[in-house]
Amino acid sequence: MTRADDALGIEYGNAICYSGYRENQSPIDGTFPSYDEVCEDLRLLERNWQYLRLYDASRHAELVLDAIRNEGFDFKVMLGADMGAEVSNPKCPWGAMYSEAQLAANREKNSAEIDRVIALANRYPEAVFSISVGNEATVEWTDHLVPVQHLIGYVRRIKAATPHPVTFCENYVPWTRKLEPLAAELDFISLHTYPVWEYQTIERALDYTRQNYRSVADHYPDKPVIITEAGWTTHSNGRGIEPWNASQKFQAQYVRQLMDWSREHQILTFVFEAFDEPWKGSPDPLEPEKHWGIFTVDRMPKLAMQELHAATR
């Protein structure tokens, strides 16, 4: 790997978002993958990927960090905090209005989650290279809205308790206005870009991603900017993504172009995501949220991963 950002000390490498939940497993009800299942996943990923992004400080994250330490996997991990809604959001299309009692309970859970993130980062300093204080918790449509000032408070708590660089993972849009006060507190900025969610064709997709990235990077010329989610779903029932625009062929094309571009410009970019997740979204089996993996839920490589494997032979 070559140096991606000398000031921050993060080296460029292949990066992927990892959530290991299989059939009949879900973070919602706390049915986690086993240690052996996590090890199986990491063995699949270690051939092509150097960085993993995790989304919470749950038992799942602990198993991943245990496996990296115990089995000698050579991964660097971005550890995340799973934030619940601290305020209601009437702009969320699928509903995000909560009672004051629920919001108060969420604030307590979020505070406890930050404590767990700190504890895991300090317990596994050799594996954790950074911490995110949340995921898509400020964008207009989120169902887990957290005020910017609350996120700033969480950032300061983490910085006071760990030496790890701190970021926040969010859609590219809020970074250039709403999140300026938060950006001032962060060590680096992490943005998400999804051309297929914004009705872009595969022919326009990489240009759109480049525009999304530049809109943020140009706004913060003195702050490192990386991409923590970019990908392409392989199935859709039409909810937000036209079915014709979701396929393994398009996913493989976008991932290949994305990785070539990020490598050329030394931009650390996390592909979304490693494995399909059937627990997500609606019960419809073609729900697009379920099908972003470059592996299926039964760990079979899709076309994008077949091409990556072939490239490393």
In a domain, 1, yes or no: no
pLDDT tens digits, 254-309: 999 999 999 999 999 999 999 999 999 999 999 999 999 999 999 999 999 997 76
pLDDT surpassing 50 at residue 2: no
User: What CATH code is carried by the domain that includes residue 120?
Assistant: 3.20.20.80
User: Are 49 and 304 spatial neighbours (Cβ–Cβ below 8 Å)?
Assistant: no
Establish if 7 belongs to a structural domain. no
Residues of the domain holding 159: 12-311
Residues 6+ apart with CB under 8 A from 309: 47, 48, 301
Q: Residue 5 falls within a domain, yes or no?
A: no
**Which pTM value belongs to this model?**
0.96
Answer yes or no: is 4 within a domain.
no
CB-CB contact of 117 with 149 (8 Å): no
Q: How confident is the model at residue 117 (pLDDT cuts 50, 70, 90)?
A: very high
Asked, for residue 3, whether it belongs to a domain, the answer is no
In the predicted model, what is the mean pLDDT of the chain? 95
Q: State how far the Cα of 36 lies from the Cα of 31, in Å rounded to an integer.
A: 14
pLDDT of residue 10: 80
Please state the domain count of the chain. 1
Q: What is the pLDDT of residue 312?
A: 57
Residue 219, domain member (yes or no)? yes
236 in any annotated domain:
yes
Share of the chain above pLDDT 70, in %: 96
Per-residue pLDDT at 4 exceeds 50? no
CA dihedral 183, 79, 112, 34 (to 10 degrees): 160
pLDDT tens digit string along 24-71? 999 999 999 999 999 999 999 999 999 999 999 999 999 999 999 999
What are the Cα distances from residue 309, in Å, to 121, 256, 302? 31, 12, 11
